[in-house]
């Protein structure tokens, strides 16, 4: 009988790098099985009887302090076990601090916080550092330990900070098999001191177990019931067998010159404000495809609000509330899309038909098991607001081709008619162009009231955020605030009007701030206009699907003298900007590892990309399923696993900070309003398997239920725009707060992000406050 593989117990203190550490363990310790538990999943006294099943324990990082029982949980007990229970333990960051403090060390704050900072680490070249060369290690800590009063603790590594002096970076217990490091061996930027240190820990652990006659207990049903399947475990979404063959899209490919996305939208009746409309536009590089939904009266709308036990399905003919039963909204939509599967479309087209819409920030917060804050339930945007698109038009900006598609049966007549309409529109455009009669899009004149966030309050919240960072509660906090625009427009449309000022504003937005992930979504009661530069998650069609995230952290405003070289020096040369981006890259690696397993790679780190109004620092992270799991899921051609990756990755880490759960909890205390549509995601899930979702930033949205069924209107005079009421729009903006943040610079960055959107309302860009 072959020996059982080694089993490692990884204790997670609610960190956002845990799966990165699990991946590092799998890389360093051949064939190991990593079982992950939260530090409060079980009482330590109950855990003792299960420790014989494990070859060793790894105590991961986490927010907070080892002095606070709620932060450290069962970890505290590991260092004080009776001899009969002792086993090898390796601590990281919070685990390092806990080992030291429990043996008499003093916990102190650093004079200068080290979050996302790389430091040279010197070491003794013994024990876990034997044979390890130079180390440049990533640090995420504001607290550190001083060993003056510690008993049986020996220093193994240290860093010399100009601001903090000598800082302990690694320790060992003199008589027990306990080792720990303050830095993060699992970070993507740690060079040396990563897998080699974990491998040395494993060699030392095996030697200690052997010399002390410790033999791990064979795995049995009792252990399996508590600890479950080891990581990585791919959780396939539910699959419902089809009773009939899935349809294939019918497609007409056109080569028409001089027809833009807005031209096509106007052919489709986008100016009728009473009708739903969806467009996802690639208005700038590196975007390529624009997707326009050709909705009908039968197009099915899917909406859901947190706290409801039903999903609302509606079109122009009916509205039904469908009980979720045993489902949550995610699994319900997976089941819905299982029945809508489409195959055999043109492989070069990313979207054949499927769901288009948005998911709110609070929907992701709910997944983290943090209670979403609700302030105005009677007049709020749905948290899920989608429409199932059966007819669509796709523009390929690279080839210039236009594709007309339908997944409806026997729809050739519509395809032919639509092709004729587009040809006619192109001829008309050519005539207008020769006569030079096409006016530029301008902001519609109106009397607008712009209420900016209070500058002093915003700066005070930055101070509070930095205090949380200094206390070890978070590494980075993405603080945001809402700007409110009220349009007292005497020409505002009545409910029966077919004129859409919001569409004119969107056209102006795409001209002044073209973006690769722009969008115009009119899904009542919500209208969303976006010029987002940031892809959140894209997934290609299975099998062999790639899951890609492109976080943006680091922004500098364009100007006459701000060349690429200047922007690169300002962004790549900034410790603050690199640290912000690094923290989110490590967080996203964790999210992807948690979903797809070990195959996660940083394809691009901190590259400067150019946009219309700003330069930004962009990274690219990709993940793939292991071959066996990919093949097992290949029958789910509708991309249900991509939907699962999306669920596990929300809310976007670039809009929260890290660790994600604790950061979200802190942000709820710092921000006055719910974010709602802002900093959620919008995009599509193709019924043929792919998907692409962008972060809802550089965007504005309004609530308007004039066109909803009377039973679902919200007659709140403070929010209901009505026929004679002004329009109310919201723009969210903010930035990542680190210990290096300057209060005025953060305020200015928020205003810079706000400016390009605010201009579409005929308002001047915000000035200093």
The enclosing H or E element of 594 equals helix 575-596
% of the chain residues with pLDDT over 90: 78
Mean pLDDT of 724-742: 89
Listed ranges 116-125, 438-447, 739-748; the one with the highest mean pLDDT: 116-125
List the single range of 35-39, 174-178, 180-184, 720-724 with lowest mean pLDDT.
Answer: 720-724
Q: How much is the pLDDT for 767?
A: 47
Give burial (CB, 10 Å; 0-12/13-18/19+) of 490.
exposed
Q: How much is the pLDDT for 434?
A: 52
* Average pLDDT in the chain: 90
Common-topology check for domains 7-227 and 252-426+447-490+501-707+725-761: no
- Span 249-304, pLDDT tens digits: 999 999 998 899 999 999 999 999 999 999 999 998 889 999 999 999 999 999 99
Mean pLDDT of 720-749: 84
Q: What angle do CA 502, 507, 512 make, to 5 degrees?
A: 120
Residue 597 C-alpha from the chain's centroid: 18
Q: What angle do CA 405, 410, 413 make, to 5 degrees?
A: 70
CA distance 428 to 157: 74
Residue 718 has pLDDT above 60, yes or no: no
Residue 330 has pLDDT above 90, yes or no: yes
Rounded to two decimals, the pTM is: 0.93
Residue 351 has pLDDT above 70, yes or no: yes
Q: Model confidence at 394, in pLDDT bands (50, 70, 90)?
A: very high
- Span 511-547, pLDDT tens digits: 999 999 999 999 999 999 999 999 999 999 988 999 9
List the single range of 67-81, 478-492, 493-507, 538-552 with lowest mean pLDDT.
Answer: 493-507
What does the domain layout of the chain look like in residue ranges? 7-227, 252-426+447-490+501-707+725-761
Q: Model confidence at 444, in pLDDT bands (50, 70, 90)?
A: low
CATH class as words, domain 7-227:
alpha beta
Q: How much is the pLDDT for 752?
A: 87
Q: How much is the pLDDT for 515?
A: 93
Q: Model confidence at 495, in pLDDT bands (50, 70, 90)?
A: very low
Q: Model confidence at 446, in pLDDT bands (50, 70, 90)?
A: low
Task: Decide if 186 is catalytic.
Answer: yes
CA-only gyration radius of the chain, Å: 28
Residue 614 C-alpha from the chain's centroid: 21
What are the distances in angstroms from CA 322 to CA 303, 337, 502? 11, 15, 32
Contacts of 518 (CB under 8 A, 6+ apart): 280, 281, 282, 283, 284, 287, 509, 510, 530, 531, 532
Choose the catalytic residue: 102, 144, 186, 508.
Answer: 186
- Span 78-124, pLDDT tens digits: 999 999 999 999 999 999 999 999 999 999 999 999 999 999 999 99
Mean pLDDT of 423-450: 67
Choose the catalytic residue: 141, 184, 517, 590.
Answer: 184
Name the E strands within 590-663.
Answer: 600-610, 614-624, 657-658
Q: Which CATH architecture does the domain made up of 252-426+447-490+501-707+725-761 adopt? A: 4-Layer Sandwich (3.60)
Residue 45 has pLDDT above 70, yes or no: yes
What are the distances in angstroms from CA 14 to CA 59, 138, 235, 466, 470? 11, 19, 21, 20, 18
- Span 670-679, pLDDT tens digits: 999 999 999 9
CA distance 726 to 729: 10
Q: Model confidence at 429, in pLDDT bands (50, 70, 90)?
A: confident
- Span 624-640, pLDDT tens digits: 999 766 666 655 556 79
| Beta-bridge partners for 281 | 518
Q: How much is the pLDDT for 556?
A: 86
List the single range of 234-238, 299-303, 339-343, 381-385 with lowest mean pLDDT.
Answer: 234-238
Contacts of 749 (CB under 8 A, 6+ apart): 555, 735
Choose the catalytic residue: 32, 93, 686, 700.
Answer: 93
Residue 585 has pLDDT above 70, yes or no: yes
């Amino acid at each position: 009988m072959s020996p059982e593989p080694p089993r490692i117990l990884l204790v997670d203190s609610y960190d956002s790098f845990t799966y990165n550490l699990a991946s590092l363990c799998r890389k360093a310790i051949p064939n190991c099985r990593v079982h992950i538990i939260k530090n409060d999943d079980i009482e330590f006294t109950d855990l003792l009887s299960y420790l014989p099943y494990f070859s060793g324990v790894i105590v991961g990082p986490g927010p907070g302090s080892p002095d606070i029982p709620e932060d450290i949980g069962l970890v505290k007990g590991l260092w004080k076990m009776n001899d009969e229970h002792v086993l090898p333990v390796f601590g990281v960051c919070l685990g390092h601090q806990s080992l030291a403090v429990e043996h008499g060390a003093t916990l102190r704050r650093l004079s200068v916080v080290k979050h996302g900072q790389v430091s040279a680490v010197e070491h003794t070249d013994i024990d876990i550092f034997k044979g390890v060369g130079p180390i440049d290690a990533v640090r995420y800590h504001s607290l550190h330990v001083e060993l003056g009063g510690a008993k049986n603790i020996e220093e193994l590594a240290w860093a010399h900070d100009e601001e903090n002096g000598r800082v302990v970076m690694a320790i060992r217990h003199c008589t027990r098999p306990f080792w720990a490091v303050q830095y993060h061996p699992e970070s993507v930027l740690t060079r040396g001191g990563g897998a080699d240190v974990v491998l040395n820990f494993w060699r030392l652990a095996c030697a200690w177990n052997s010399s002390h006659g410790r033999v791990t207990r064979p795995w049995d049903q009792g252990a399996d019931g508590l600890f479950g399947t080891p990581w990585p475990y791919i959780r396939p979404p539910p699959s419902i067998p089809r009773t009939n063959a899935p349809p294939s899209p019918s497609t007409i490919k056109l080569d028409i010159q001089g027809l833009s996305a807005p031209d096509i939208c106007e052919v489709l009746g986008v100016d009728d404000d009473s009708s739903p409309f969806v467009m996802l536009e690639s208005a700038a590089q590196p975007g390529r495809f624009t997707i326009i939904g050709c909705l009908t009266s039968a197009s099915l709308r899917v909406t859901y609000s947190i706290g409801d036990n039903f999903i609302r399905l509606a079109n122009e003919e009916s509205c039904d509330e469908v009980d979720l039963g045993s489902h949550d909204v995610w699994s319900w939509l997976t089941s819905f899309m299982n029945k809508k599967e489409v195959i055999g479309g043109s492989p070069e087209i990313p979207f054949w038909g499927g769901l288009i819409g948005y998911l709110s920030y609070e929907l992701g917060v709910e997944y983290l098991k943090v209670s979403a804050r609700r302030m105005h339930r009677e007049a709020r945007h749905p948290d899920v607001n989608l429409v199932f698109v059966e007819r669509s038009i796709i523009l390929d900006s690279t080839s210039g081709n236009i594709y007309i598609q339908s997944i409806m049966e026997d729809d050739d007549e519509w395809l032919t008619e639509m092709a004729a309409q587009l040809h006619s529109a192109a001829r008309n455009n050519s005539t207008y162009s020769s006569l030079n009669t096409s006016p530029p899009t301008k902001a519609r004149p109106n009397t607008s009231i712009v209420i900016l966030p209070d500058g002093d309050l915003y700066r005070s919240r930055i101070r509070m955020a930095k205090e949380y960072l200094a206390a070890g509660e978070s590494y980075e906090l993405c603080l945001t605030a809402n700007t409110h625009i009220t349009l007292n427009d005497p020409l505002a449309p009545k409910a029966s009007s077919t004129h859409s000022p919001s569409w004119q504003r969107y056209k102006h937005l795409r001209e002044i701030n073209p973006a690769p992930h722009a969008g115009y979504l009119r899904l009542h009661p919500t209208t969303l206009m976006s010029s987002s530069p940031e892809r959140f998650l894209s997934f290609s069609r299975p099998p062999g699907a790639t899951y890609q995230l492109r976080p943006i952290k680091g922004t500098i405003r364009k100007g006459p003298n701000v060349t690429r070289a200047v922007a690169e020096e300002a962004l790549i040369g900034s410790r603050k900007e690199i640290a912000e981006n690094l923290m989110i890259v490590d967080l996203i690696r964790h999210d992807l590892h948690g979903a797809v397993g070990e195959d996660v790679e940083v394809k691009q780190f901190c590259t400067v990309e150019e946009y219309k109004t700003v330069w930004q620092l962009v990274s690219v992270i990709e993940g793939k399923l292991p071959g066996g799991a990919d093949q097992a899921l290949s029958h789910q051609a509708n991309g249900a696993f991509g939907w699962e990756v999306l669920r596990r990755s929300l809310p976007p880490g670039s809009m929260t900070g890290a660790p994600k759960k604790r950061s979200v909890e802190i942000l709820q205390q710092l921000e006055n309003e719910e974010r709602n549509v802002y900093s959620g995601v919008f995009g599509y899930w193709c019924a043929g398997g792919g998907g692409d979702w962008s972060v809802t930033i550089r965007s504005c949205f309004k609530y308007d239920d004039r066109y909803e069924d009377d039973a679902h209107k919200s007659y709140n005079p403070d929010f209901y725009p009505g026929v004679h009421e002004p329009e109310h729009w919201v723009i969210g903006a903010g930035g990542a707060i680190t210990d290096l943040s300057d209060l005025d610079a953060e305020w200015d960055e928020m205003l810079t992000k706000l400016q390009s959107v605010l201009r579409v309302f005929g308002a001047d860009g915000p000035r200093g406050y």
